[in-house]
Amino acid sequence: MHLNFSPLLSATLLLGLAAGAARAQTTPTIARPSATLTVAEDAGSVSIPLSITNPGTVASTVQVAVQALGTATAGQDYTYAITQTVTFPAGATGTQTLTIPILDDALAEETEYFVVRLLNPTNATVSATANDILVYIKDNDTPAPARANNLTLGLVQSYQTATPFSGNTQINSAEIAAFDPTTKRLYVANSIGGKLEILNLANPAAIAAVASIDIKSYGGLNSVAVRNGLVACAIENSNPQQNGSVVFFDQNGAFQKQVTVGAMPDMITFSPDGRYVLTANEGEPNAAYTTDPEGSVSVIDISGGIAGLAQANVSTATFTAFNSQAAALRAQGIRIYGGLAASPSTVAQDLEPEYIAVSANSQTAYITLQENNAIAVLDLATKQITALRPVGYTDHTQPGRSLDASDRTTEVLMANWPIKGMRQPDAINLVEVNGTSYLLTANEGDSRDYSGFSEVVRLGANGYALDATAFPNASLLKQETVLGRLNVTNKLGDTDGDGDFDEIYAYGGRSFSIYNAATGAEVYDSGNLLERVTAADATYGAIFNASNGFEAPVRKNRSDDKGPEPEGVTTGRIGNNLYAFVSMERVGGVMVFNINNPAAPVLETYANNRSLTTTTGDLGPEGIVFISAADSPTGQPLLLLANEVSSTIAVYSLQANTPTAARPGQGAEPLAAYPNPSQGAPVRLSRAVSGTLHDLAGRPVRHLRATDRLDTSGLAAGVYLLRADDGAATKLIVN
């Protein structure tokens, strides 16, 4: 049969086919290669390959512009003067490469970054949640932190107190240790095994077991202290929310007395004069958060001797007097946030004492309130809490306060971010220098994470919404190679109450701090130094920020949490020098600082003893004990680390060395200035220096002498270079 189409029908059919073809054509999509790229400062340039899918019959374009988020400076760290346009020819597949020059300066800097955004596409689309690219620039001028090496730590022995694991289950531990010089014995709290281990330390190179006392019938062993043959153990109730106890033993582990203290006594110590035994009663809630005992500090007066000790000798200081001050405490920076929505905790319930330091005159105790980011002050004469002090937050935007925030990046990227670190100190130590008392804190960090209440959330989680005004690059920040993996709190940071977060708060300061004990004023904070030391260590840099568990160490797997987690801190004098010893629970080991000047500690050395590939060695140092030469069984100062996970006691000998004079500029600590750029206001330096500020022509424009302030008033807008007399340098931009 012959079919004859009319002209009108043919035209209609052709138009329909054309419309169908148009509907089938998919709009081209332009995409970034990844959320982040890393380039070395001396690489010359960074290449950003942009790809297109479903190319069209006409050319597609996209503009690429620098964003405000970033710590690198255009014209100083990279070259990108104006918005650029990338064109994809019609029908072309594959990639178009944007090349950005990277400038290699001679300044010691932290990892810097800049962000470019894909925007205003033509004949194409770009994902609104995957349009930013962050470029990390790794500095090649920053030296490893200088070590004075005036003190040598020599490992004498790592003694296994008990078998730590059965398969993958931990069955024993060595959490806290206490040394008695009168008996040369060491008492170790085996919390997981429920035992008090008694060791003979007469020969530190050949430690011998004396006895293992089963504590489980009394409750759960949390801590131990000893003085002149009297051993005091902090015991939590079998129902942890009920009052706990202190059980006293003689030097051989024979029971002496038992008294009741507050709920969950977590740490115990003797006052320097031996009159008091104090416990920090943490008072944690149950898992459902339906029972929340009050935190407290118990003071046991043993001045009358252990034989006559009775419950009447126990005073427990509570925080109930602060219950009406919740709002004022929060405004000061003290975290009061626990409890369920229907029954929020009182201040007394919310405060959780963690660790105690007592003044040399035995008149005042200072107690860390870890989850609350605060320190309490206790008058031992009246047995009353007299003050609550916030310990402050670490501003990670500031020089010297950078952190490695992701476990998904291959390299260590110590960068500044719009994050505040809740210091949340664990251990605290008190020391006197030239008549002034100072408090040292190990800023480990901790969270509340129960079945009925949890504040822990990853920054990249869908339920953690960042305020669009405060964080216009929120989608980028939530990427796993940026900040998406970082654990943060969902109980702080929503400043306007609208349900999203205007500020980001992460756990721990990753540092140690020094405060004036009388005033609470901050004297020093180590900032990023602990992470920098371990990252640059010739041996243990291989397991930077690794965890301390049964599995083999994995580099950087704690970067998204609290980093090295400094947990223990103590001090000791050797000759004319005063030293601080800071243990790091995760990566392990101990750092030593000379603190003759508490405002400017000097890094001496770092020692560690764990395998880089297996689970052997010392894992999870928590308790830390300094033994002076006068008390040491060898006549030489010793340092002991109680390693909770490996159930080992590491004994180090301490040997003072003859200092070697450094050449000018050798090992100079990096120098930074902030705010930078400056708006003509005074600029603060990361440390006090003497030096000269030069303009780009090399002309001196300001002279500094032993100051951490720089007056920029009257300076013309531009870039300046500050050179310190010790060889350090930093750039400064004045707008």
Residue with tokens 């008090």: 196
Is 2.160.20.60 the CATH number for 29-138?
no
Does residue 118 register a pLDDT over 90?
yes
Confidence of residue 326 (pLDDT cuts 50, 70, 90): very high
- What is the tens place of the pLDDT at every residue in 30-45? 999 999 999 999 999 9
Helix (H) or strand (E) holding 474, with range, is helix 474-477
Q: Provide the pLDDT for residue 5.
A: 34
3-state secondary structure string, 146-167?
CCCCCEEEEEEEEEECCCCEEC
Residue-level pLDDT at 542: 98
Residue 733 has pLDDT above 90, yes or no: no
Whether the predicted pLDDT of 528 surpasses 80: yes
Those residues with Cβ within 8 angstroms of residue 426's Cβ, 6 or more apart along the chain or in another chain:
354, 355, 368, 370, 441, 442, 443, 444, 446, 566, 567, 568
> Per residue in 711-730, pLDDT tens?
888 888 888 888 887 778 88
Residue 529 is predicted with a pLDDT of 98
Question: What's the rounded mean pLDDT across residues 428-447?
Answer: 97
The band of 332, judged by pLDDT with boundaries at 50, 70 and 90, is very high
How big, in percent rounded to 5, are the helix, strand and coil portions of the chain?
5, 45, 50
- How many other C-beta atoms are found inside a 10 Å radius of the C-beta of residue 444? 31
Q: How confident is the model at residue 25 (pLDDT cuts 50, 70, 90)?
A: low
Taking the model in full, what pTM does it have? 0.89
Task: Write down the residue that tokens 């992460």 correspond to.
Answer: 506
Provide the pLDDT for residue 678. Answer: 82
Per-residue confidence at 658, pLDDT binned at 50, 70, 90?
low
What tokens appear for 287 in the block? Answer: 């898992």
pLDDT for res 276: 98
Tens-digit pLDDT profile for residues 46-80: 999 999 999 999 999 999 999 999 999 999 999 99
pLDDT at position 7 over 60: no
Closest among 72, 684, 75 to 398, alpha carbons compared: 684
Q: Write down the pLDDT at residue 3.
A: 34
Tell me the pLDDT of the chain averaged across its residues. Answer: 93
pLDDT of 699 > 90? The answer is no
Answer with the residue of higher pLDDT: 169 or 26. 169
pLDDT band at 13 (very low <50, low <70, confident <90, very high): very low
> 14 or 208: which carries more pLDDT confidence?
208
CB distance 278 to 297 below 8 Å: yes
In the chain, what are the domain boundaries? 29-138, 151-446+508-656, 673-734
Q: What's the average model confidence in pLDDT over 665-691?
A: 74
Nearest in space to 652 (alpha carbons), one of 587, 601, 607: 607
In tens, the pLDDT along 456-487 reads 999 999 999 999 999 999 999 999 999 999 99
pLDDT at residue 714 in the model = 81
**pLDDT at residue 187, rounded to an integer:** 99
Q: Which CATH architecture has domain 151-446+508-656?
A: 7 Propeller (2.130)
Strands (E), 587-710: 590-594, 602-607, 621-627, 638-643, 648-656, 673-674, 683-695, 700-710
**Minimum mean pLDDT among 148-162, 391-405, 457-471, 684-698: which range?**
684-698
Average pLDDT score over residue span 158-183: 97
